[in-house]
C-alpha cells in the first residue's frame, strides 16, 4: 500500500510537470502549425510571463492565478510585436534565418530581463501555500490541483476557440494549407500575428504556473523548458495540438519516473531517449501526419 502511494505520488508530480510542458509545447506547436517557423526563443516568453506575474504580484499582492490572465494578455501583445517586427520579414527566407533570429531573441529577452529585474533567483508565494487536499490515498497541496484545473481550462478554451470561432477555423485552415487559405480570402498575416500572440500567451500561462508552484526562477529559466518543448512537439507530431498534450504528459511522467527509478541526473536525458525511441518507431511523431 505504501509503495502504491509512492508510485501515485510520483505520477502526480509527473502530471504537474506535464501541465507546464503541455502549455509551453501547445503554444509552440500553434505557432509552428500556422507559420512553420522555428522559434528557439519560446522559453523566453515563459520567462517573461513569469516575471510579469511576479512584478504585478509584488506591487499589488493580487492572487497570482488572477494575474495569470493579465500575464497572458501582456504576452499576446509582446508576441504580436515580435511576430510583426522579427518573424514576418524573414518568413519563407529559410530555416537558418529563423534559427539565428530566435537565438538573437533569446539574448535580447534574457539580458533585457536581467537589466529590468536583475538576475537573482526570485520566487512567488501562493495564497494557498500550506493548504493540502486529499486525493485518493494522497494528500497534495491545493496549488497543484489548481494548476491542473487551470491547464485543463486553458486547453478547453483553446479547443473551443479553434473549433467554434471564425478566427480559430481560419487558423486551422492556414495550418493545413497556407496557400489555399490565402486563395479563399483568409488574411494569413493576421492569422500569423494572432497565432504567435496566442502561443506566447500559453507560454506565459506556463511561466505563471511554474512560479506559483514554488519553483525559483531567473532570466535564464527558459532555456531548458524550450528545448524540452521542442522535443515534445517532435514527439507528439509537428503542428499537432493533441500530440503536444500527450507528448507533454508523457514527458512529465517519463522524467519523474526516471528521476525516481534511475536518479535525478536521468531526468532530462530520459525525455530525449523517449523522443528517439518514438521517432525510430514512428518518424512523424505520435500524432504527426505523413508529411510530418
Partner 1 sequence: MKYSVFIIAALLIAAACIAGCTQQQASTQSPAASQDTIKVGVIASLTGPASNVGTNMWQSAQVAGEKINAAGGVTLKDGTTKQVKLIVGDDESTQAGGQKAATKLITDDKVDILVGGYSSAVTSAYEQTIAEYKVPYIVTGASSPIITHRTDIDTSYVFHHCPTTDTYGEYTTQFIDEVVRAAVNKKLGAPSDRPFRLAVLYQDTAFGKGVQTAVDNTIKTKNLNIVLVSQQSFKMGESDFRTQLTAIKAAKPDAVYIGAFPNEGAPAIVQARRDIGLNTIFLNVENNDNAQFYKDVGQYGEGAVIESRFSPYTAPAGAVAAAQDEFKQAYFKKFGTYPDMMGASTYEGVFIAAEAIKQAGTTDKATVRQTLTTMKMPQVIEAMKDSTISFSSGFRESSFDLWMEQLYPDAAAGETRPKIVWPDNLKTTEFVLPSWYEAGSSA
Residues forming the site for partner 1 (CB under 8 A): 2, 6, 9-10, 13-14, 16-17, 85-86, 88-90, 101, 104-105, 107-108, 111-112, 114-115, 119-121, 123, 125, 129-130, 132, 139-141, 144, 214-218, 220-221, 224, 256, 259-260, 263-265, 267-268
Task: Decide whether 14 or 199 has the Cβ nearer to partner 1.
Answer: 14
State the nearest-atom distance from the C-beta of 36 to partner 1, in Å: 19
Please, what is the minimum distance in Å from the beta carbon of residue 140 to partner 1? 8
C-beta closer to partner 1: residue 92 or 157:
92
What are residue 134's phi and psi, to 5 degrees?
Answer: -80, 130
Nearest distance from C-beta of residue 169 to partner 1, angstroms: 29
To the nearest 10 degrees (0 to 180), the angle between helices 166-176 and 2-35 is: 80
Which residue is it, cell 529577452?
Answer: 109
Q: Which is nearer to partner 1, 210 or 230 (CB)?
A: 210
Nearer to partner 1, 213 or 240 (CB): 213
In this complex, which beta carbon is closest to partner 1, that of residue 115 or of residue 273?
115
The pairs formed by 107-110 with CB atoms below 8 angstroms and a separation of 24 or more are: 109/41, 109/44, 109/45, 109/47, 109/48, 109/219, 109/222, 110/44, 110/47, 110/219, 110/220, 110/222
DSSP 166-193: HHHHHHHHHHH-HHHHHHTT--HHHHHH
Q: Minimum Å distance from CB 163 to partner 1?
A: 33
Torsion sign across C-alpha atoms 157, 78, 212, 104: positive
C-alpha span between 190 and 194 (Å, rounded): 6
Instruction: Provide, rounded to whole angstroms, the least separation between the CB of residue 274 and partner 1.
Output: 16
Amino acid at each position: 500500500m505504501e509503495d502504491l502511494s509512492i508510485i501515485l505520488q510520483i505520477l502526480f508530480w509527473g502530471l504537474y510537470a506535464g501541465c507546464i510542458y503541455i502549455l509551453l509545447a501547445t503554444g509552440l506547436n500553434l505557432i509552428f502549425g500556422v507559420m512553420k517557423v522555428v522559434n528557439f526563443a519560446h522559453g523566453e516568453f515563459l520567462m517573461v510571463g513569469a516575471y510579469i506575474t511576479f512584478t504585478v504580484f509584488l506591487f499589488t499582492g493580487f492572487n497570482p492565478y488572477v494575474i495569470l490572465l493579465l500575464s497572458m494578455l501582456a504576452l499576446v501583445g509582446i508576441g504580436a510585436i515580435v511576430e510583426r517586427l522579427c518573424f514576418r520579414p524573414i518568413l519563407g527566407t529559410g530555416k537558418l534565418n529563423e534559427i539565428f533570429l530566435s537565438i538573437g531573441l533569446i539574448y535580447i529577452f534574457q539580458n533585457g530581463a536581467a537589466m529590468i529585474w536583475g538576475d537573482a533567483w526570485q520566487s512567488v508565494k501562493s495564497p494557498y501555500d500550506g493548504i493540502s487536499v486529499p486525493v485518493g490515498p494522497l494528500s497534495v497541496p491545493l496549488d497543484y490541483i489548481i494548476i491542473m484545473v487551470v491547464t485543463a481550462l486553458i486547453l478547453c478554451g483553446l479547443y473551443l476557440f479553434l473549433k467554434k470561432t471564425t478566427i480559430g477555423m481560419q487558423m486551422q485552415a492556414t495550418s493545413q494549407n497556407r496557400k489555399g487559405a490565402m486563395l479563399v480570402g483568409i488574411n494569413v498575416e493576421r492569422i500569423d500575428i494572432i497565432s504567435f500572440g496566442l502561443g506566447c500567451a500559453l507560454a506565459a500561462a506556463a511561466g505563471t504556473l511554474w512560479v506559483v508552484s514554488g519553483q525559483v526562477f531567473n532570466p535564464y529559466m527558459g532555456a531548458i523548458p524550450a528545448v524540452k518543448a521542442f522535443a515534445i512537439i517532435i514527439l507528439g507530431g509537428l503542428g499537432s495540438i493533441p500530440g503536444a498534450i500527450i507528448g507533454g504528459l508523457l514527458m512529465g511522467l517519463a522524467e519523474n519516473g526516471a528521476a525516481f527509478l534511475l536518479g535525478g541526473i536521468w531526468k532530462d536525458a530520459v525525455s530525449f531517449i523517449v523522443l528517439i525511441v518514438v521517432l525510430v518507431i514512428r518518424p512523424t511523431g505520435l500524432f504527426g501526419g505523413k508529411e510530418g
